[in-house]
Amino acid sequence: MSDVKKIAVIAGDGIGPEVVAEAEKVLKKTEELFGYQFETDHGLFGGIAIDEKGTPLPQETLEMCRNSDAVLLGAVGGPKWDNNSKELRPETGLLGIRKELGLFSNIRPAVVFDCLKEASTLKPEVLDGTDLIVVRELTGGIYFGEKFRRETEFGEEAVDTCAYNVMEVERIVRQAFEIARTRSKKLASVDKANVLESSRLWRETVNRLATEYPDVELEHVLVDNCAMQLLRRPSSFDVIVTENMFGDILSDEAAMLTGSIGMLSSASLGEGSFGLYEPVHGSAPDIAGQGKANPIATILSVALMFKLSFGYQKAGDLIEKAVKDVLDAGHRTGDISSDQTSALSTSEMGDLIIAAMK
Q: What is the mean pLDDT of residues 196-204?
A: 98
List, by residue number, the catalytic residues: 143, 192, 224, 248, 252
**Least confident range of 65-79, 120-134, 151-165, 309-323:** 120-134
* Axis-axis angle for helices 313-328, 296-305 (nearest 10): 160
**Residues whose CB falls within 8 Å of the CB of residue 316, separated by 6 or more in sequence, listed in order:** 303, 304, 305, 306, 307
Q: What is the mean pLDDT of residues 209-234?
A: 97
Pairing of strands 105-111, 37-42: unpaired
DSSP per-residue codes, 185-240: SEEEEEE-TTT-HHHHHHHHHHHHHHTT-TTSEEEEEEHHHHHHHHHH-GGG-SEE
Amino acid at 176: A
Pairing of strands 265-269, 105-111: antiparallel
Please return the burial class of 78, using the count of CB atoms within 10 Å of its CB with bins 0-12, 13-18 and 19+. Answer: buried
The torsion angle over the Cα atoms of residues 304, 244, 169 and 262, rounded to 10 degrees, is 10
Please report which residue ranges of the chain form alpha helices under DSSP H. 16-34, 47-53, 59-66, 90-100, 124-127, 166-181, 197-210, 223-232, 244-257, 296-305, 313-328, 346-356
Contact (Cβ atoms closer than 8 angstroms) between residue 23 and residue 301: yes
Among candidate residues 248, 247, 316, the one with its CA nearest the CA of residue 282: 248
Residue 1: pLDDT band by 50, 70, 90 thresholds? Answer: very low
Can you give the pLDDT at residue 332?
93
Residues in the chain: 358
Q: For the chain, what is the mean pLDDT?
A: 94
Q: What is the mean pLDDT of residues 103-108?
A: 95
**Least confident range of 57-61, 116-120, 168-172, 208-212:** 116-120
Contact (Cβ atoms closer than 8 angstroms) between residue 47 and residue 81: yes
Q: What is the mean pLDDT of residues 203-210?
A: 98
DSSP per-residue codes, 124-171: HHHHTT-EEEEEEE-SSGGGTS-EEEEEETTEEEEEE-----HHHHHH
The whole-angstrom separation of Cα 76 and Cα 347 is 20
pTM: 0.87
Q: What are phi and psi of 180, to 5 degrees?
A: -60, -35
Share of the chain above pLDDT 70, in %: 99
Q: How far is CA 151 from CA 142, 159, 161, in A?
A: 21, 11, 17
If one counts every other C-beta atom within 10 angstroms of the C-beta of residue 329, the result is 11
pLDDT digits (tens, 9 = 90+) for 9-42: 999 999 999 999 999 999 999 999 999 999 999 9
Contact (Cβ atoms closer than 8 angstroms) between residue 243 and residue 191: yes
Contact (Cβ atoms closer than 8 angstroms) between residue 256 and residue 263: no
Q: What is the mean pLDDT of residues 194-215?
A: 98
Can you give the pLDDT at residue 121?
84
Whether 188 has a pLDDT exceeding 80, the answer reads yes
DSSP conformational letter for 333: B
Whether 340 has a pLDDT exceeding 90, the answer reads no
Q: What is the mean pLDDT of residues 75-80?
A: 95
The whole-angstrom separation of Cα 103 and Cα 269 is 5
